[in-house]
Amino acid sequence: MRIPRDAILPSLFALVLALGVLLPLLMMVTISLNPNEQDIMVSMGSIRSFIPHVLSLQNYVEVWTDPVHPFGRYLANTAFITFSTLVLSILFNSMAAFVLAQGTLAIRKPVMILILATLAVPGESLVLPQLMMAGWLGQVDSYQVQIVPGVANAMSIFLFYQFFSRLPKELIEAARIDGFSFFQIYRHVAMPLSKPVISAIAVLQFLEIWNAYLWPVMVTRGPEYRPLSVAMSAYFGTNQAAWGNIMAFAVSMAIPVILFFLILQRQFIASVMSSGVKG
């Protein structure tokens, strides 16, 4: 198959971008399959670190069965926190966006502008006040302290708002004529049509919540509520880091993210494509 001349440059750029993403992943998998720490250190920085020459699951077994750092507990914590935050976030942010897009409040636009303005505030600047509030409420070292702060998301509200504001007025009016209440229009008309937006928000927030580190490391004290991102840092607390175990932990942590994206990739791409179409 011959590539058109005008497509050569974009194809080369896509290839370089793909290699930039895949090579670190390949290196991570290669090192995770090598149980010989000395061999790992020798091959670091060479082409051998990208080519699997040893196939062993020893590092994975050590990580999954470590009694000091229970991987299964960390995985269950991360999954529960991520999916709880994701479901609540999609529910409440879509409700807020629908009210701002289709409601009758006179201050809808100022409120939307105020919400967008919060995107300019660094999240790190809010960590200390949130930590003081969590301590005052006695919620430190719990699931809820890791879930509640992540529910409200300005970007999610904005993406839902953009979609809901473009819904045909005739469709909304037809639903009202059929006797639908405002909430019924949201539930039975707006939400079923917003599946591509939901998928895009789910992928973006899933990555953000799954890999969150700063807030969980400040509010968790032990393995009972600790997520994977915080648990992984424990491997760097030793005098000599075991790179095979670290990479096995990282691969195990990345697999759910990759699977989640593969499941929603069609809807995610559809949302990205539709966001660039006007009219």
Measure the CA–CA gap between 265 and 271, rounded to whole angstroms.
10
Residue 115's pLDDT is what?
Answer: 92
Query: Does position 279 have pLDDT exceeding 50, yes or no?
Result: no
184-201 b/e with 16+ CB inside 10 Å = b?
ebbeebbbeebebbbbbb
**For residues 5 and 196, which has the higher predicted lDDT (pLDDT)?**
196
Residues 96, 100, 104: CA angle, nearest 5 degrees: 125
pLDDT tens for residues 103-130?
Answer: 888 888 899 999 999 988 888 888 889 9
Query: Does position 97 have pLDDT exceeding 90, yes or no?
Result: yes
CB 78 within 8 A of CB 150: no
Per-residue tokens: 265: 């990739």
> Which value, to the nearest 10 degrees, does the dihedral of the CA atoms of residues 149, 154, 160, 161 take?
140
For the chain, give the number of residues: 279
pLDDT tens for residues 148-176?
Answer: 999 999 999 999 999 999 999 899 999 99
Per-residue tokens: 68: 């000091």
Residue 263's pLDDT is what?
Answer: 85
Residue 5's pLDDT is what?
Answer: 64
pLDDT interval class at 38 (50, 70, 90): confident
Query: Does position 216 have pLDDT exceeding 60, yes or no?
Result: yes
Measure the CA–CA gap between 116 and 153, rounded to whole angstroms.
10
**For residues 257 and 1, which has the higher predicted lDDT (pLDDT)?**
257
User: What domains can be seen in the chain, in order of their start residue?
Assistant: 1-55 (no CATH), 72-276 (1.10.3720.10)
pLDDT tens for residues 62-82?
Answer: 999 988 889 999 999 999 999
Query: Does position 1 have pLDDT exceeding 60, yes or no?
Result: no
pLDDT interval class at 276 (50, 70, 90): very low
Report the mean per-residue pLDDT for the chain: 86
Residue 142's pLDDT is what?
Answer: 92
Measure the CA–CA gap between 217 and 185, rounded to whole angstroms.
41
Give the dihedral sign, CA 192/196/199/204.
negative
pLDDT interval class at 6 (50, 70, 90): low
Q: What proportion of the chain, given as a percentage, has pLDDT over 70?
A: 91
3-class secondary-structure state, position 31: helix
